[in-house]
Structures are given as structure tokens and as C-alpha cells.
Structure 1
Amino acid sequence: MASTVKPTRIALVTGAAQGIGKAIALRLAKDGLHVAINDLPSSQDKLLTTSDEIKAIGRESSVHFADISNEEQVKTMINEVVEKYGGLDVMVANAGVNFVKPFLETTVEQLERVFSINVKGTFLCYKYAGIQMVKQGRGGRIIGASSIAGKTGSYPNISIYSGSKFAIRGITQAAAGELGKHKITVNAYAPGTVITDMSIQFAERSAKENNVPVEDFHKAVAEQIPVKYAGVPDDIAGLVSYLASEEAHFVTGQSVSINGGSFCD
């Protein structure tokens, strides 16, 4: 009699050394997936800590250093994951960079850097994960990181970041349209204000520029959110958990807002 036990699914999460990426990696491990994780070599200690925490949950984990804006490094990373685990079922292209500067002061070089990481990097992760999933013939989940700034360009001083997150929405929709016939869904999450190291640094810089205590800046930001508080990485991880699940087979091409009501679409 054939076994009815399903094999453990395999996930790869980029930018998993800290913040939202780490929370996603740990949540997927709790959901029962083996989780390969990626970040830059400069984040080695934090990434190894994340891997240890995944193993403590009882799942397998491996560490893969790669610059997602480099095509050969992305290909190598995915090949390493497949070689170790035998396949890839969930790709979470979480890695990205923020950039804060007035529009008229932004240089072409700065634009190219942000788009290389946020847009090109996400594209490469989608593409090579998609190639592997099509080859396997068992479907899959591809998930990217957009933003509330990818739905409205009304936030000051983040024009090229906003543009990069709008681009991820477009790539997500287009990829979903082409990969659906292979039972591969492609979605993105679009967070609003989430408390991470990056957002704390942004708040400290903004508070200094506006000559107000950072605590007052945090309160002012929270007051603008309908639920009156900012999100935390685990909130985003919960959404990704659903998008990565088998139950989400009918959800594709979406960039799902998760922002406490700050922007409704």
C-alpha cells in the first residue's frame, strides 16, 4: 500500500538575517517546512542565529550567502537549495533596501542601486525559482515584498523606493499570469509601518531632522494609523504563512495590503 504521508515542503527566504525576513523564516518552520535562508556575508552571525532557531523548532535549515542582484549568485543559491533538499516549493523574495532622499536630490546611481536590488533581485528570485518549480511539476508558491509605498506614491523622500515597490507589483501580476498553468501562484505582501531595525533607524533620523523626541515621532506615526499602532514582523509572517499554504491555491497575482488601515485598495 502506497504511503499517504506528504513529503516536507522546502522554502527559501531571502533577507532572513533579521526583521520581516527572519520572522517569515521562523513562521514557515513552525508551519512544518524545511527553510533555507539567505542574506549577505556581512550578516553572517545573524543569519546563523536564524538558522539555529529554525533547527530548534525541529525543521532543517541551511544558510546561503548571495547578492540577489547578481544573476549567477541567485542561480547558484537556488541550485544549492535543490541539491540539498531535492526541490523547492516556496520562494520568498523578501530581501530589499530602503532609500530616503528628496526626489530632486536623488541621483541616477542611487536609483540604479535601489532598482538593482529591489526589482532586479526580486525578478531573478522569481525567475529561477519558477524555472525550478516548472521542472518539478508539482506547483509552488512564489512570494515577493512590495509595500504600502508600492500602492501610493504620497510618502515624501522615498520616490525611488516607492517606484521599485510599484514595479514588484507589476512583475508579480505578470508572473502570476504566466505561471498559473503550472499550479504556481505568485503574490506579494505590501506592509505599512512595521517596527524593524530599519524603521527604527528611519524614525530616529526623521525625529532628529524635525527636532522632536523620537518617542513623539513614534506616537505621531501610530496616531495616523486607523488601528493606532504599527505592525510587527510576525504580522507579516502570518500573511506569508497563508500565501505559502496549500489552501491559498486560488490566490495569485495579488499584492496584499497589511497596514492597519493606513491605505485601502
Structure 2
Amino acid sequence: MPISPLPKTPILATRLTIPGPSSEASICGAPTGLSYRSVPSPFSLTRGPVAAHHVSGVTRKGDFVVERNGSARVALVTGAARGIGRGIALRLAEDGLDVAVNDVGANEEGLNEVAEEIRGVGRRTATIVADVSRADEVEGMVGRVAEELGRLDVMVANAGVAQVAPLLEVTPEDFDRLMAVNLKGVFLCYTAAARQMIRQGGGGKIIGAASIAAHKGFAMLGHYSASKWGVRGLTQAAAQEWAEHGITVNAYCPGIVGTAMWDLIDEKLSEHMGIEKGGAIKQYSELIALGRVETPEDVASFVSYLASGDSDYMTGQSVMIDGGIIFS
């Protein structure tokens, strides 16, 4: 995605590298629907074709459905070259899934390294360079996954960008660039994945990257907060529309994650607050009830659950994984 550097308010990204002082960093299932049957129940709804999710022809590894009629389930993780996306991709591979990974060309070296780690645990992979804000590239990406790995069972729309700036300094161009990735990109990944899953006969897990900023807007992150509220609404709508196909749609909402992203956010916030670098993240970290900064592995553990059969009765939710900052 050809984004020019913004001299006053650089964009920070999982999925692209911005030239200049900015640098990139991390932001931020089990399709048990092999067949469906209605189960009589006094609590059955009068509408909707699926009253229960029935599993057949699968192999389990612990609590995870890892094979479907002898073939490993397939996941696609966007923004996977590093940070949260990398952690998710590796965790799903450890869970027994074949995992395709995506990022933009600027991060291709990191993408290839993640792919090698996936192969190292005995799983198949594919590396796909694509811009999630472009519809043609997203459709092509999903098509390649289905062609090279046989199908698509889990979509993790993880790619995202952030920009630290007062709203009065955010330009329309800044706003559009951020929304193109964080909201439009999630929309494109959700819909392309759903179409593929429906073509396969239904069933699947679609998972998106939201944020604690999807539950509480943050000063200096106004347009970022708006984009994540959008992901939350999109997730709820998609969950309702695709339930009839056995597809669940959920989102994860990280808090303060120990990645290069937060180093950059801290730098900009500290500068705005007139304090030394490190001061902003220290103040925010003191809000965490569990007393430590989040890791990519913390997020990946929850995504592992969303990708598993254990989450089959959960859809339309945007769940905070923040160590106890925001309570609902």
C-alpha cells in the first residue's frame, strides 16, 4: 500500500513499513459444521436453520478439531510478519492447523521467517504478499489459500495501523488511510472469507482485530478508536448474517501489548504530555489490574480459543483481552 510518510503524525502499522521516522509494529476455528441437524428443544428458535452444531468426520487434538475428513484445517492470518499476527500464526500452527500468512511487500522478509517457523512444527503454509485495503488483492489472497492449501476454515483479519495525533491535526487523508486498513480491510477480509466458506458448504471461523479502543475512545487516538468501534459493529452484523451458514464471527480487543507499536505510541504520547519517553506507557500500564504488559502470546491464546470448536456457541462478540483495564 503506497502510503507517504506523515511528517507530524506518522502512521504505525503491522502490515506496512512507513519510510522515515515511523516504523512498523504490531497493533493492536474449528469449523465443526461438517454437517448440521436440527435438535428438538423447548428452547429452539422459530426461525433459523441451525438449532445445533453437529460434528462428524473430525480428528481432535486435545480440545481442538484439527482435521476434517483426514485433512488439516486451514487458517489465514493477515499482518502476520511480526507482533500479534506472528504470535497468532504460530499458535494456530502449534494447534495443528495449516496456516497461510499475509503481509505487505515491505515486510516480506519477516513473513518468510514466520513461514519457516510454521514449517518447523510440521504444518503447511503459504506466504501471500497483499494489501488488505484493496478488494482485488484480498480476493486473490483468499483464492490462493484455497488453491494452495485446499480450503479456508479460519480467517484472522489481524492487519491494522495506528496514528497518534490530536483530532485537530488529523487530516482527511490521514483519516482515510487509517480507515482503509483498519475498517475497510477487515470488511474485505471478512466478506472474502465468508464467500469462500459458503462455497465450501458452510462452517468456519472469522476473527477480527479490534481493541480496547473499540469499547472506549482514547484521546490522541481518535480516528483509530473510531475504526475499531467500526470493527465491533461489523462483527456483530456479520455474525447475524452468516450464522445460517454455520460461520461464527468474533473479534479480540488487546490492550497495551509489549511490541514496537507501543514504543512508538509511548514516544508520541509522552511528547504530547511533555514527559520523558517511557512515561506515557508507564502511566497506562499502571491501569492494568494484572500488573503486567500484555504479550502477543496472550492475544494468540484467546484467538486459539476463537478458532477452536470450544467457541462454537459464541458469535458477534468483541472481547477485551487487556489484563483488566476496561471492565464491562
TM range (shorter): over 0.9
Aligned to 1:103: 167
Letter in 1 for 2:231: I
Aligned to 1:262: 325
- Which of 217, 232, 236 is the aligned partner of 2:299? 236
Q: 1:86 to 1:32 in 2, by over 3 A?
A: same
CA contact (8 A) 2:262 2:281 kept: no
Q: 1:204 Cα shift?
A: 2.7
Question: 1:112-166: CA deviations, max 9, x gaps?
Answer: 111111111000000010000011114000000000011111x211111000000
Q: Is 1:142 matched up with 2:206?
A: yes
Q: Is 1:72 matched up with 2:136?
A: yes
Q: Is 1:203 matched up with 2:273?
A: no
Higher helix share: 1
Aligned to 1:57: 121
Question: 1:169-195: CA deviations, max 9, x gaps?
Answer: 011000000111111000000111111
Letter in 2 for 1:78: V
Letter in 2 for 1:35: V
| SS of 1:98 mapped into structure 2 | strand
Question: 1:197-218: CA deviations, max 9, x gaps?
Answer: 1111211333344454434444
CA–CA distance in structure 2, aligned partners of residues 170 and 4 of structure 1: 33
Letter in 2 for 1:201: L
Correspondences of 1:1-265 after superposition (within 5 Å): 5=59, 6=67, 7-153=71-217, 155-265=218-328
CA–CA distance in structure 1, aligned partners of residues 101 and 77 of structure 2: 5
Q: 1:235 Cα shift?
A: 0.3
Q: 1:93 to 1:206 in 2, by over 3 A?
A: same
Q: 1:240 Cα shift?
A: 0.2
Give the TM-score of the pair, scaled to structure 2. 0.77
Letter in 2 for 1:127: T
CA–CA distance in structure 2, aligned partners of residues 213 and 118 of structure 1: 30
Give the TM-score of the pair, scaled to structure 1. 0.95
Unaligned runs of 5+ in 2: 1-56, 60-66
| SS of 2:146 mapped into structure 1 | helix
Q: 1:70 to 1:30 in 2, by over 3 A?
A: same
Q: 1:86 to 1:220 in 2, by over 3 A?
A: same
Q: 1:4 to 1:184 in 2, by over 3 A?
A: closer
| SS of 1:127 mapped into structure 2 | helix
Identity, in percent, stands at 46
Higher strand share: 2
Bigger radius of gyration: 2
